[in-house]
Structures are given as structure tokens and as C-alpha cells.
Amino acid sequence: MELLQVENVEVVYNDVVLVLKGLSLAVEEGGITALLGANGAGKSTTLKAISGLLEGEDGEVTDGSVVYDGKTINKWAPEKVVREGIFQVMEGRRIFEDLTVEENLRCGAYTRPRSEYAAGVERVYEYFPRLKERRKQVAGYMSGGEQQMLAIGRSLMAKPRLLLLDEPSLGLAPLLVEEIFSIIRRINSEEGVTVLLVEQNARAALGIADMAYIMENGRIVMDGKSEDLLNNPDVQEFYLGMGHGGEKRSFRNVKHYRRRKRWLG
């Protein structure tokens, strides 16, 4: 079953800047779906169109719809979206730097009854033992990797049904990315949380995702099962850095190039 359908969504910022140009994607319940693309492609905007967070940025869904669990949610306030089970972990680990690890976790549980708090914290510590060691520490002094763990742990406190992760690998060393991604996979399978994972790190994301979409310039340019994309020569060349040329080209240029080649050849 599809838990989320984004259908032909257009997003405009400040009434003038068109950023999403008819974007469509679907997220299967219980799986991990990756949304890949370069900087500026519109990945964060897509997540905000789902979570309702465009509102605070003078952005608006001007066409299309976002359907979650059969309900059209693109006019909903962000608080309502959270209460219905969608939680977005923002890019850049927006934790509360002056609060301790445990206080940060408590903040994630604001939509839940207090009685669930203790069990929730223990559950987070099972996934992230390092957070338990640092439970009394002020979050702002932790390493980037630990802050990312805290951001994900805090989202678990809300018991989401759909977790939106915005570039959890950003700025982290490869070993740490591997560690955090394997925990994301565990959370997905053990908690039954559906994940929409936004990444520039295509290799890491395709390693744990079931399905993936690649976007450029506000549109999806390719989609498929992760294993098929990993084996696709264009994906290998342009997103996995396995090509020969130094110049970074986009899919659209490749298509033009192929068309031209066919035409001339």
C-alpha cells in the first residue's frame, strides 16, 4: 500500500519563484524510499511541502496534491501533520544546543502522553547507546554525528508513522554515515516506521532504500528499485562517481546528447 502520494506538486516561494514544477512520487508503507538529487534540486522543498513547513518560509503549494493515508494534507498546519504521524528531521541537525540530550528527547515527545516518556527514551538509547552515555551533556557540545543521532532519536519520541529525513549524512565521515544508515534501516524494520530519505549521498542512500527517485531542477527525472538504479550506467556515471569524464553533467544533458548522437549517427 502507498502511504504517501505526492501528485504533480508545484511550489512557489515569495509568490514568484517556482521551485517544484509538477513533482510526483509515491512512498510505500513499511519501506524506505530515497529522494536523491544535487544541491538546489528541490529536495528540502519537497519534504516541507509534505510536512507543512513551507508555511514559515513564505512558500506555497500552488498546484497538485499531497495525499497521506488517503487524506489530502497540503493545506494542513504543521502541528496537525505531526499529530497524524509525519515527522521531519530537518537538514543540519536542528537540535536545541543549550539543552541536554535527555531534555532534547523530551521535546520530541510533545505530542505524546507523558506516560510513554520513559519507555520512549529507553528505546532511543537502545538504538543509540552513545546518547545514553551523554544523556546529561549539553547537546551543543557534541560531535556532528552525535547531534545527528540525537535529531533522529528525538523524532522517534514522536512515534512517527512516516519519518522524513533530510540529508542525515551531511558533513559526516563515511564510517559514521554507515553506522547511522544501518540504524535507520533497523528503525525502519523494528519499529515499522516508513521512511522518506532525502540524500545527496546516492550510494549510501541506495544501499538501504527499497525504491528511489532522482530529481533535478524541481522534477523527477528517474525512479526505480534501488538495485536497478545502482546498476544503471547513467546513475553510476552521474550520481555514483563511476564515470570517466571530469565534467559533471545532468541527466537532461545526457538525454540531449544521446538524442543528438542518434540524430547525427
Ligand X SMILES: Nc1ncnc2c1ncn2[C@@H]1O[C@H](COP(=O)(O)OP(=O)(O)O)[C@@H](O)[C@H]1O
Residue 201 binds ligand X (CB under 6 A):
no
Residue 43 or 154: which CB sits closer to Mg ion? 43
Residue 51 or 104: which CB sits closer to ligand X? 51
Q: Which span sits near ligand X by CB under 6 A: 10-18, 73-81, 115-123, 183-191?
A: 10-18
- Cell 536545541 belongs to residue: 96
Residue 49 or 157: which CB sits closer to ligand X? 49
To the nearest 10 degrees (0 to 180), the angle between helices 144-157 and 117-127 is 140
Residue 44 binds Mg ion (CB under 5 A):
yes
Q: Which span sits near ligand X by CB under 6 A: 14-22, 92-100, 129-137, 153-161?
A: 14-22
Partner whose footprint covers residue 37, from Mg ion, ligand X, none (CB < 5 to 8 Å by kind): ligand X
What H or E segment, with its residue span, contains residue 239?
none
We find the least distance from the C-beta atom of residue 254 to Mg ion, in angstroms, to be 23
Contacts of residue 104, defined as CB under 8 A and 6 or more positions apart, other chains included, come to 95, 96, 139, 150, 154
We find the least distance from the C-beta atom of residue 41 to ligand X, in angstroms, to be 4
CA dihedral of 108, 167, 169, 103, whole degrees rounded to 10:
-10
Residue 17 binds ligand X (CB under 6 A):
yes
Site for ligand X in 88-117 (CB under 6 A): none
Give the number of residues in contact with Mg ion, rule: CB under 5 A: 3
**With the C-alpha atoms ordered 179, 181, 184, 185, is the resulting torsion angle positive or negative?**
negative
* Rg of the chain, C-alpha, whole Å: 19
For the beta carbon of residue 236, count every other beta carbon within 10 angstroms: 16
Residue 44 or 104: which CB sits closer to Mg ion? 44
Record the cell numbers describing residue 57, joined without a space: 518560509
Residues making contact with Mg ion (CB under 5 A): 43-44, 91
